[in-house]
Structure 1
Amino acid sequence: MSNSPELTGLFARLASQIDIRKHETSDSDQPDDVLVAALNQSLNLSESSRVRVLNTALSLMCFTAPQVFDSVTDYSVNTIVSVLSSSVDCKVLRFCKGEVLRIGGSISAHDCVGVMESCADILGKLKEHGMLSCSLLYAVVRVAAMATQFRYTMQVTPVRVVQSTDGSSHAISKLVHYIPKRISFDNQELQLRLLLWYLDPQILVEDVSQVLLDVVGRPFICLSVELYGKMEWRSIIVCLALSPVMFIETRALLHSWFLLTGLASVLELQVELVSMVLDLLSRPMWWGLSEGVGSKLPFSHAYFLFKHRLFRTLAGPLSCGGFLDLILQIKKSISQTKRSYHATLEYIATTTSTVDHKSTWAMAMNFPDWFYFASLSLLSEKNFSDSYMSRTDEDNQLPAAAAAWYIAWILDPVGDYGLLAEKLEKLSRTFIGKHLSSYQHKKTTGSYEVKLKKAKPNDKTKGASQEYTCQTIELWLQEFQDVYICYYGRLTGSPKLHEVQKIDIPNNVMFRRITLGILLGCSGSLNEDGCELLLHYVATGTVLQSMETQHARLKHRRWNCDRQENRITCIEKCSRKEAVAGACVVFHLTDVAEKMSDSVSGTREIAIDYICQIKLRVVKYLLKCVKRLLQFEIDQNNGVWIEDLHRRVLRWRHQGKDIFHGHKDLDDAINVIASKLP
């Protein structure tokens, strides 16, 4: 019974039985024996049959009509499931001396459309009575996925069916409606989602789009925690891990969206999906998979068919040796691409291959920790980590040059990143040399000319790391911003100084995040005001201006007070968008520090102290942003981000360890947020 008409007949019989139950049970005045008699009559194939054995037996056993109907429905559903399952097989068809191996279903793709539509109707009726059958849904989807496009006759050569199957997408969309939102990690239910992705790739696009839509609307979401804790999202991660093909397709999809939109949230989702799948591969049982399913997961090579050796380096621990090896692999890949360009003279195709989902650049973008590692190497103090610097040359020029090259390549993989690397390396030398007592400057055309006044030999701070002044940070940020304007030439309100061949990615955001390397590597040399300058620049792209011009004739002490007052006023009057961005930068910085702490520290205790030191420097700016956010009106649409903010602040407080016992301002902020929870 594997032909489509016979299956359709089974569906029709089941539908009629459900309709009879609905009609008979709606009349509460009829006794059970009358309902049973009606059921008996519906089961008799011959209208002239007058069999009354069923009536008597059911009455003696005290069965009610609804129970009988449920039993008949269950058996009918199981019968259909068995028929559908038996239609999928693997057979060798022999004809004379020839043989044909047939793998798949005996129902053609065209006939499957009718079967799926009949199944969708039955599932709707079953759902009305609270009897939704996942086994029936899985069986029909499996048959559709295994449906053949060929018709087998007595001939050895199969004949392709040319009938149109345009209605398959509509039939599949009707089936998707009955998929449980929170599926269990049962092997059958996981395979159901994968089969639907295979039948209609648009379903995968819609699933990923829904996750991305939630991420964009929730700026304070902790994505790694949510992807594991939310069962609907976790099931997507599990399915991606079970199917390397779908994982590759999802990476390619998000990468193309990132190139088209330049949204940082798209890149963040792509990075976290890769991270979560790798985490699942390393500990599948922690994700809820059984030992049997976890043991069958493929190796990493199946998920990263392109640049797998590069993937192994990127997924490895952060280290100077690994970083230099990474640079060599990237340069080798670029060299091979250039040779291909000179051989084919196809510049457009070569440029596209440089940034597509198979490229070296796309792989590196999935592991942003190396970008921040490079930023730390570029802008940190020489004595930041003895264990790290001991692997480099004495004058520390090699890691700075390599870090500048890597950052420039990430920002502009198809442009003249060599020029940008030179500018970044120059900025690095300028910043690292600022262990000075004062900062003299004068404004020149398009940039600041910086003159450094060296500390005297008898300085009390000799041999120790001096604290960077706010004036030093402010003027260096101005010079840093000038580099951005000169290279990209597309800052808001600025004329284009020159055109550079580049892809449309959020260079302004990524460029600003280079300065996080200062906070990661020099937090001990920064005060809270200096951290505010850096954090506000990363969040908004603007440098908080001092009042030096207006108060040039005032004394230095009064100038500092006015400048600090102006900075505080600016932050407290920022927009909602800027306040959100500022708080997110603090959370992001702490997450990055937590990931990098073991790599830049010798022991776990030092790593925890490293995280706590950064938290102490940024807590003041975080509280200002949170206080400003709470001043805006909170409506129903903002209820979700208030909950996210509350969870995020609590999580941030305990990262590394809780060092804010008795911190009244932080406690008050958390209490105010809690009072506004819906």
Structure 2
Amino acid sequence: MSSIQEITNLFAALALNLKASENEEIDNSIHLSISKLNQSINLSYHSRTRVLDTALSLMCFTSPQVFDSMIEYSVKTVVSVLSSSINCKAIRCGEEAVLLIGCLISSHDVVELVETCGDILGKLKARIICESLLYAVVKVAVSASSFRHVKELRPVLDVRPGAGRTLDLSKLLCYVPKEMTVKKGEIPLRLMFWYLDPLVLKNDVTQILQESIRRPFICLFTELCQRIEWRSTILSLAFSPLMFIETRSLLHNWFLLTGLASLLEFQIKLVSLVLDIISRPMRWGILADVSSMLPFSHAYFPHSLQFLKILTGPLTSGGLLQLVHNISNSQFRAERCSPNQAATKSSLVDHKSMWAIAMNFPDWFHISSVVLFLNKSSGDSFGSTFISGAAFAQDTEEAEPLCSAAARYIAWILNPIGKSHQDVLAQNLVKMAGNFTSKQYGLAKTTNPKKLKRPKIYHGVHGKEYDCQIIQLWINDFRDMYSKHIYNTVNSSIEGKSAPCAKLGLDMLFRRISLGILIGCSDNVNEEGWEILLHYAATGIILQLTNTQDTGLRPKQKSQGMEVSVAWNENSDLKEVEKGAILVFYLTDVVENMSVPLTDSEESESDFICRVKSKATKYLLKCVNRLLNLNVHEDYALMLQDLHKRLIRWSYQGKAVFQGSKDVDDTIETISKILSSL
């Protein structure tokens, strides 16, 4: 039994049983029910076998039970027939042979099969057997072929007209279970839907993106791990390298077109989770016999395998030097081998490029930013292990100093096209970092030689912290460098198919370089300086300063010993303060990831995280308090719930007790009271 007509007849019989089950009254005679069952089981309607009738009557089966059994075994029969239509065998006829792979049902007939199944599933409702029938039909649809075989055993394309009918999966999608269970030898149901219609995959990805954009404080990593439907999507991608590659390509192209940070964040989390699934499948509830069938990582990243090994390895100075070395070699080969400059530029930024892969591992970008400001820091032991490791990695004459390599890596991320532009940008990054860490930056900016004798004007009261005025001056110069060496050069160097890359979120990436100051020189910047740097990194806006103490001095004398505070714009909108709070959460996650390579013990790791949290607390609470006052969000209650969860998680990162932890606890309590009153 393999023809579509025979299978359709089985569905028709099942539909009749379902109709009879719905219309039959409970108090009908058992004799009538059993007679119908006896007729459906016996091959001939004229059978004189009456033993079954008597046996079921004596066992007191009710009419609904009889009909449920009829439906159950009818479904099992359909499933068995559909499963038997999928095979792989060789048919021989004399000297000729044909290998039949897939389903005996043609793709033309699958349209009718899917429509019929959709009608039946609606009547089965919430029955357990619904899932088995759905799986069998979808598997047949995936295995169906557009070819048929004639008597001469030659494959012929099935060109029968489809009368404008296409495969419509909408009736079946609503019956897909949210939770995915993977069994040995079975393809995940959600994955088969993706193969049948790539738009289903696109819709699944879009739903996650839309919610993450609508809820800015949602912890995407936690939701992807814990929310049943999102978790099923990630697991399905892990079981199909092809679908994973397609999803990465889709997200990457969207990011090139829009530059949205949410797209990049989702792509980063997606790659991280899939790599975690294939490396630790048991942690994700995948049984050993199934996990042994998962591909290796190179199947998900078929290009630049050696580069991927470095990116997925530990954050070390040697790894950073190797990354820069591989990038230089790749650029040299691309410029030498490809005569088509437009094609070369396009290949440097597409989803198969080294640059696209590196964008999924942002910790290397951040560690490079830290190195820029770390090598000339205050001289403590912080980061000394990471920097000293570079001496062991520089075993060739071509190896660059660590600071220069870090600048080159950042320059390549910001401007993947044009090595000459990268060289200029790298030189300026080293210069800007050197100006900041030299502690002579404020003196160099003055035009009055007499003020060179008074460094206190430019440094904090401890002589160690950078004054917020210096932070302002440095950010202004830093922003000017962006306009001169990144934005204009990138837009002028991108042509042809790579033109969408001109809209890339370079502004966001460039501003995040300044996070290297907050991580590498956290003790050298006072709280006001932290506010200015955090707000600039989050929004691109430089906060202004106001006097908080009137010393009675003349205007020319007020600069010395003057106390200043950061002035927030009273008209700050919701998006501005949202970005500020989100950046603090993001920075803490980055610091948590870097705590191992930059510290030498578990205790110093926790202290490192708490040090950053203590400095960022004042700015974070300012943002949160403004959010509580700006009750203009469409989903205000939902936003507060997400913010509440993020604040609780943030308060426990590193250590629960740190400078300012009481203020954070009070804010969490305030949000709890607001939520309870809504």
TM-score normalized by structure 1? 0.89
Looking at structure 1, the residues matched to 181 and 449 of structure 2 have their Cα atoms a distance apart, in angstroms, of 62
Q: Of 411, 414, 429, which aligns to 1:424? A: 429
1:643-662 to 2 correspondence within 5 Å?
643-660=641-658
Identify which of 172, 191, 195 aligns with 2:192: 195
Which of 341, 349, 354 pairs up with 1:355?
Answer: 349
The 1-side partners of 2:463 and 2:405 are apart by 25
Q: Once the 2 structures are TM-superposed, how far is the Cα of residue 166 of structure 1 from its aligned partner?
A: 8.1
Query: Residues of 1 paired with 2:222 and 2:466: CA distance?
Result: 36
CA distance in 2, matches of 1:489, 1:353: 20
Aligned-CA RMSD value: 3.2
The equivalent of 1:161 in structure 2 is 158
Give a deviation string over 1:132-151, Cα, whole Å, max 9, x none: 52111111111111112211
Tell me the equivalent position of 1:522: 521
Helix, strand or coil for the counterpart of 1:306? Answer: coil
Aligned to 1:594: 592
**For 1:6-25, what aligned pairs fall within 5 Å after superposition?**
6-25=6-25
Residue 556 of structure 1 corresponds to 558
1:214 is the counterpart of 2:211 = yes
1:504 is aligned to: 503
- 1:368 is matched with which residue? 362
- Farther-moved stretch of structure 1 (374-383 vs 201-210): 374-383
Equivalent residue letter for 1:314:
L
Please give the residue correspondences for 1:454-603 in structure 2 after superposition, counting only pairs within 5 Å.
Answer: 466-488=464-486, 499=492, 501=494, 503-546=502-545, 553=555, 555-556=557-558, 560-561=562-563, 563-564=564-565, 567-570=566-569, 574-603=572-601
Could you tell me how far apart the structure 1 residues matched to 2:490 and 2:503 are? Answer: 17
Contact 1:439 1:452 in 2 (8 A): no
1:131, CA displacement in angstroms? 4.8
**Aligned residue in 2 for 1:408:** 411
The 1:141/1:108 distance shift into structure 2, 3 A limit, reads same
Q: CA deviation at 1:226?
A: 1.4
Structure 1: segments with no counterpart, 5+ residues: 443-448, 491-495
TM-superposed CA distance for 1:452, in Å, is 9.5
Taking the TM superposition and a 5 Å limit, the aligned residue runs for 1:229-240 are 229-240=226-237
When structure 1 is superposed on structure 2, of 631-640 and 257-266 the one drifting more is 631-640
Map 1:45-64; keep pairs closer than 5 Å: 54-64=52-62
| Cα separation, partners in 2 of 1:15 and 1:661, compared to 1, 3 Å | farther
Offset of residue 248 of structure 1: 1.2
> Contact (CA 8 Å) 2:544, 2:567: kept in 1 or not?
no
Whether contact under 8 Å (2:238, 2:277) holds in the other structure is yes
Q: For 1:600-639, list aligned pairs within 5 A.
A: 600-633=598-631, 637-639=635-637
- Inter-partner Cα distance in structure 2 for 1:296 and 1:568: 59
Partner Cα distance (2:671, 2:450) in 1: 46
| Sequence identity (%) | 46
**5 and 497 in structure 1: CA distance in 2 versus 1, 3 angstrom threshold:** closer
Shift of 1:186: 4.3
Select the residue among 122, 128, 138 that pairs with 2:135: 138
Moved more, 111-120 or 518-527: 111-120
Deviation at 1:254, TM superposition (A): 0.9
CA distance change for structure 1 residues 168 and 614 in 2, over 3 Å: closer, same or farther? farther
Contact 1:110 1:163 in 2 (8 A): yes
Relative to structure 1, is the Cα distance of residues 338 and 375 closer, same or farther in structure 2, using a 3 angstrom cutoff? same
Alpha-carbon distance in 1 for matches of 2:508, 2:14: 59
CA contact (8 A) 2:374 2:383 kept: no
* CA 386–438 in structure 1, closer or farther in 2 if over 3 Å, else same: same
Instruction: Give secondary structure in 1 for the equivalent of 2:401.
Output: helix
**Equivalences for 1:654-673 in 2 at 5 Å?**
654-660=652-658, 663-673=661-671
- 1:107 corresponds to 2:110: no
Distance (Å, rounded) in 2 between the aligned partners of 1:615 and 1:513: 17
Supply the distance in 2 between the matched residues of 1:114 and 1:233 (Cα, whole angstroms).
Answer: 31
Tell me how far apart the structure 2 counterparts of residues 80 and 498 of structure 1 sit (CA, whole Å).
60
Q: May I ask how many residue pairs the two structures share in their alignment?
A: 653
Measure the CA separation in 2 of the matches of 1:610 and 1:451: 39
Provide, for residues 465-509 of structure 1, a one-character-per-residue CA deviation record: whole Å limited to 9, x for no partner. 82111111111111111112223568xxxxx99955463201111
Q: Normalising by structure 2, report the TM-score.
A: 0.89
Distance 1:7 1:526, change over 3 A: same
1:329-388 superposed Cα distances (whole Å, 9 cap, x missing partner) = 0111111111133xx3x2222211111111111011111111101111112252342222
Contact 1:400–1:428 (CA under 8 A) maintained in structure 2 = no
| Contact in 1 for aligned 2:181/2:188 (Cα 8 Å) | no
Q: Give 1:493's aligned residue.
A: none
How far apart are residue 54 of structure 1 and its match? 4.8
Distance in structure 2 (CA, Å) of the matches to 1:555 and 1:167: 85
Q: Which residue identity is paired with 2:220?
A: L
Q: Any idea what the Cα deviations from partners look like across 1:173-208, whole Å, max 9, x if unmatched? A: 322221112333445775211111111111111111
* Range moving further from structure 2, 431-440 or 329-338: 431-440
Local SS of the residue matching 1:676: helix
Give the letter for the 2:136 counterpart: A
1:256-295 superposed matches below 5 A = 256-295=253-292
Is this contact kept in 1: 2:522–2:611, CA < 8 A? yes
For 1:200 and 1:309, locate their aligned partners in 2 and report how far apart those are by CA, in whole Å.
33
State which drifts further: 143-152 or 62-71. Answer: 143-152
Residues of 2 paired with 1:627 and 1:108: CA distance?
63
Contact 2:425/2:486 (<8 A) preserved: no
Residues 166, 336 of structure 1: alpha-carbon distance in 2 compared, 3 angstrom cutoff? farther
* Contact 1:24–1:35 under 8 Å retained in 2: no
**Which 5+ residue runs of structure 2 have no aligned equivalent?**
393-398, 495-500
Superposition deviation, residue 235 in structure 1: 1.3
Partner secondary structure for residue 466 of structure 1:
coil
Measure, in 1, the Cα distance between the counterparts of 2:146 and 2:491. Answer: 56
The letter of the residue matching 2:360 is N
Counterpart of 2:100, as a letter, is R
Q: 1:226 aligns with which of 216, 220, 223?
A: 223
Q: State the distance in 2 between where 1:83 and 1:337 align.
A: 55
1:138 and 1:188 in contact (8 A); partners too? no
Q: Work out the CA distance in 1 between the residues paired with 2:598 and 2:311.
A: 17
Describe the shift of the 1:70–1:461 C-alpha distance in structure 2 as closer, same or farther (beyond 3 A): closer
Where do residues 444-455 of structure 1 align in structure 2 (5 Å cutoff)?
A: 453=452
Instruction: Tell me the secondary structure at the aligned position of residue 109 of structure 2.
Output: helix
Q: Tell me the CA shift for residue 6 of structure 1.
A: 0.3
For residue 329 of structure 1, what is the aligned residue in structure 2? Answer: 326
Q: 2:313 aligns with which of 313, 316, 323?
A: 316
The residue type paired with residue 406 of structure 1 is: Y
Cα distance in 2 for partners of 1:246, 1:375 equals: 34
CA 1:397–1:413 in 2, change beyond 3 Å: closer, same or farther? closer
Question: Residue 421 of structure 1 aligns to which amino acid in structure 2?
Answer: A
Which whole-Å CA distance do the structure 2 matches of 1:389 and 1:121 have between them?
Answer: 66
Tell me by how many angstroms 1:238 deviates: 1.3
- Decide whether aligned partners of structure 1 residues 497 and 323 sit closer, same or farther in structure 2, where only a CA change above 3 A counts: closer
